Structure 1
């Protein structure tokens, strides 16, 4: 009777609210588009780069401004007379010999870098949501197994306690069984806390912390069977498609463009200018309307250009070093990910499947013996079977995450595999 009561309590705890729709993996992954702080930071960086691009392009814009002065002056006859000036000036840069063009090119490359960073942030969020989703499923399964083990330990202790009260058995054995039960009770309670913690982390990853997910649907991971390329053929693809590589390459191109723009500061500029003016004192050397070309030829600028050039070169060298280090890290990460996929698909799956097969056989035998009242180890067999199933799910979840990381390394898509079905 007590065993039936424990089973009912466990089933109620894991079932959640009656009739509630289970959260699917696809529904959880749809939260990638939600304005999570990570996404908002990446979007803000992209918006900043676009603003910088508009600012750089505005250097060639037409400008219109009012220029004036209020003053008075004394003439040769000794009288003070007003000499006020009001002018409307229209100016349009014509040639700056590369300043604005290279600045715009640098801003365009920075936009490309920020777009790659946004793609990388989305990929990382997708992997994080998947991992948190799987953590909830595993936490539920672990709780079920630990609860079953605790139930068995409790029943053993309870039976020994009843026998001890009847004068059968000894106190050391009773204490040992009670300690064993308390250990499993502690593990079960820890698993219960992990269930709550895993759900909160999933809610935070989905950016819906005001509502914790209750029940999750078991995902159908059909993509776990897809073929993956070999390391030698995939490495060049990753070095070309990886978002972080693309971002750093774009930043290097932006640095080159900024260097060209800085060095162009030594070149002259040419503007077109139209001025309409009004004067309180007439003069033959003043024009009410004038137009002309204005040029500026730098003769000496001190160390300003050299200092800016040195700073930009230092930043470029740092970006180049970051890119080289990233490529080394990517090659190691790619190899480790492919090896993990190979291991999980090979010995990992085989070992988990055989463990499930063996535990199923033991469970069937224990169920038959239980019905014949030969032994009472059915509870332990059920718990061991759940543990074996948990191991099998861990393999599949880990494989799905490894494949997701492989896609993220490759910029979201893998190259076709020769001989693989399309």
Structure 2
């Protein structure tokens, strides 16, 4: 039964589109820069912000346009005479008294905010790929353990059928053993389905949907024992370098600059203008070529500027509130992550190690008893040993993910270690 199940599993795995080599964690993480939808969304925000910056800078660009009119006018002699005009106008803004400067400042902050958001998206993608990679490894181990439990339950039920035929056990006892086998079989089949699902999710996280990895290399998690600063040293560092905090700070600065830019709409403007024209009717007041300065002072603009200022102030307040809320959330998340690392390194590892040690001892005892034909619980001991090893691996994988989250919360780097603890 066990051999048939393993052969079926191997045939199923080989039937899937797969990588030719064993997939390593490093190779999976190298796909962070792939054109994943999450990355493309973040990159599109950067492109939009940069386009907004170009639009703001274009306010000072040189303008060239054709101006003309077709008309006729009544002369003093009572005759209607054509008075057509065709002009080429060149205009260059010289001073707008703060409009462009503040608009550029707002646009620059929007670009900075979108770039920080892109960096945050890359960090989240890295964590997601790690989590999916570990899910595949855990799914494989869980399947192996559940398959072992199912094999043990089947052997027990199969032997019980022979004993039932000769009247050594009752029918309720036989039904109980069959029920245990069916439950174990159900868990094994669910684990088999989870193996495929975990691989599909990993492929999607790597932006390779449908390209499933049949064989994953066990990662060497060397950073799991790195020294870490205390929470009190990490908090100000993370507040200064966290991508989300930096993005929201830039958004608040952009909103502030937009308020100033809108208020500058009340200021005058000064442009340089050169005009070349042709006229169907000659006049001593018309020039074929002229140049000069155009000075405009807004006197009344209705409620348009006030409404735009009110909107910009509301956006600024929203950005500041989001920034303050994110600082609270960062403080909580950072503390929870540090505590999780301490727990995993302390009691989590110790409990898992002791469980593995006990199950190894129990397996050796079961093997000795099996060889002496005293008991037949060797298969169960082997499966329980696998479960203990799964628990130990889960601790290391969770620790690696917690450290990755801690580094992402801190902007990709951690402060120098002073008085750190493992």
TM-score over 0.5 for the pair: yes
Paired position in structure 2 for 1:213: 213
Is 1:406 the equivalent of 2:388? no
In the TM superposition, 1:256-295 aligns within 5 A as 256-295=256-295
Displacement after TM superposition at 1:374 (Å): 2.2
The answer to whether the 8 A contact 2:19-2:211 is kept is no
Displacement after TM superposition at 1:166 (Å): 2.7
SS in 1 for 2:228: coil
Paired position in structure 1 for 2:48: 48
In structure 2, how many angstroms separate the alpha carbons of the residues matched to 1:204 and 1:230?
Answer: 36
Displacement after TM superposition at 1:78 (Å): 2.4
In the TM superposition, 1:88-103 aligns within 5 A as 88-103=88-103
Paired position in structure 2 for 1:392: 392
The answer to whether the 8 A contact 1:270-1:293 is kept is yes
In structure 2, how many angstroms separate the alpha carbons of the residues matched to 1:124 and 1:214?
Answer: 25
Paired position in structure 1 for 2:355: 355
In structure 1, how many angstroms separate the alpha carbons of the residues matched to 2:166 and 2:394?
Answer: 46
In structure 2, how many angstroms separate the alpha carbons of the residues matched to 1:262 and 1:341?
Answer: 49
Alpha-carbon deviations, 1:62-91, whole Å to 9, x = none? 111111111222212222222111111110
In structure 2, how many angstroms separate the alpha carbons of the residues matched to 1:230 and 1:94?
Answer: 55
Are residues 358 and 181 of structure 1, via their aligned partners in 2, closer, same or farther at CA, if it must alter by over 3 Å?
same
In the TM superposition, 1:190-269 aligns within 5 A as 190-269=190-269
In structure 2, how many angstroms separate the alpha carbons of the residues matched to 1:325 and 1:383?
Answer: 48
Displacement after TM superposition at 1:298 (Å): 1.1
Paired position in structure 2 for 1:121: 121
The answer to whether the 8 A contact 1:14-1:140 is kept is no
SS in 1 for 2:252: helix
Cα RMSD between the aligned structures?
Answer: 1.8
The answer to whether the 8 A contact 1:10-1:144 is kept is no
Paired position in structure 2 for 1:382: 382
The answer to whether the 8 A contact 1:91-1:272 is kept is yes
Paired position in structure 1 for 2:333: 333
Alpha-carbon deviations, 1:98-152, whole Å to 9, x = none? 0001101100000000000000111111111111111111111111111101100
The answer to whether the 8 A contact 2:96-2:269 is kept is yes
SS in 2 for 1:220: coil
The answer to whether the 8 A contact 2:57-2:100 is kept is yes
In structure 2, how many angstroms separate the alpha carbons of the residues matched to 1:265 and 1:177?
Answer: 84
Displacement after TM superposition at 1:9 (Å): 3.6
SS in 2 for 1:415: coil
The answer to whether the 8 A contact 2:84-2:281 is kept is yes
- The TM-score with structure 1 as length reference comes to 0.96
The answer to whether the 8 A contact 1:269-1:295 is kept is yes
Structure 1, gaps ≥5 residues long: none
Are residues 189 and 283 of structure 1, via their aligned partners in 2, closer, same or farther at CA, if it must alter by over 3 Å?
same
SS in 1 for 2:302: coil
In structure 1, how many angstroms separate the alpha carbons of the residues matched to 2:275 and 2:6?
Answer: 91
In structure 1, how many angstroms separate the alpha carbons of the residues matched to 2:40 and 2:235?
Answer: 31
Is 1:138 the equivalent of 2:138? yes
In structure 2, how many angstroms separate the alpha carbons of the residues matched to 1:43 and 1:176?
Answer: 59
Displacement after TM superposition at 1:6 (Å): 5.3
Are residues 20 and 37 of structure 1, via their aligned partners in 2, closer, same or farther at CA, if it must alter by over 3 Å?
closer
Are residues 291 and 367 of structure 1, via their aligned partners in 2, closer, same or farther at CA, if it must alter by over 3 Å?
same
Alpha-carbon deviations, 1:300-334, whole Å to 9, x = none? 11111111111111111111111111111111111
In structure 2, how many angstroms separate the alpha carbons of the residues matched to 1:214 and 1:82?
Answer: 84
In the TM superposition, 1:43-192 aligns within 5 A as 43-192=43-192
In structure 2, how many angstroms separate the alpha carbons of the residues matched to 1:83 and 1:32?
Answer: 67
Displacement after TM superposition at 1:163 (Å): 1.6
The answer to whether the 8 A contact 1:10-1:147 is kept is no
SS in 1 for 2:294: strand
Of 101-110 and 19-28, the range deviating more from structure 2: 19-28
The answer to whether the 8 A contact 1:270-1:294 is kept is yes
Are residues 364 and 245 of structure 1, via their aligned partners in 2, closer, same or farther at CA, if it must alter by over 3 Å?
same
Alpha-carbon deviations, 1:235-254, whole Å to 9, x = none? 00111100010001001111
Alpha-carbon deviations, 1:330-387, whole Å to 9, x = none? 1111110000000000000011011111111111121122222222111001000000
Structure 2, gaps ≥5 residues long: none
